[in-house]
Amino acid sequence: MRKNSIKNTRINGEVQKELSNIIREGVKDPRIHPMTSVVAVEVAPDLKHCKVYISVLGDEESQKETMVGLKSAEGYIRTQLARTVNLRNTPELTFVLDQSIEYGVNMSKLIDSVNKDLVREEEDETD
């Protein structure tokens, strides 16, 4: 896989920041959960395509609804992105649900429960 250039890294950061603002403030679709965040953005070097990784803090139903809402608002979001970010081409947006934050929270809970069990076992042995 090709390493990102400095220019591409800056474009990714700027597009991520602007998409985050557009989704939070500009899109009024009730299907989009209020706790939706843009985790990462990968803009292709030719600026034709863009993968937007979305994280939704909520249940599975709200995640599905948010993805449907974002896909239906894709044209509006792309238009707003073209107005705020000065790029040669405005990339086509592809929204991808990113569950890494939720996965990390679940793993932390599992680790905490294992640690509590170990502490209880040690206390039982000392008594």
Taking 50 as the pLDDT cut, the residues of the chain under it are 1
CA of 121: how far to CAs of 65, 84, 111, 112, 113, in Å? Answer: 44, 58, 15, 14, 12
Q: In 3-state terms, what secondary structure has residue 40?
A: strand
Residue 26 is predicted with a pLDDT of: 87
Amino acid occupying residue 121: E
Pairing of strands 36-43, 49-56: antiparallel
Q: What is the pLDDT of residues 80-101, one digit of tens each?
A: 999 999 888 899 999 999 887 7
Q: Crossing angle for the helix pair 6-21 and 74-84, nearest 10 degrees?
A: 120
Residue 121 is predicted with a pLDDT of: 82
Residue 1 is predicted with a pLDDT of: 44
Residue 2 is predicted with a pLDDT of: 58
Residue 42 is predicted with a pLDDT of: 93
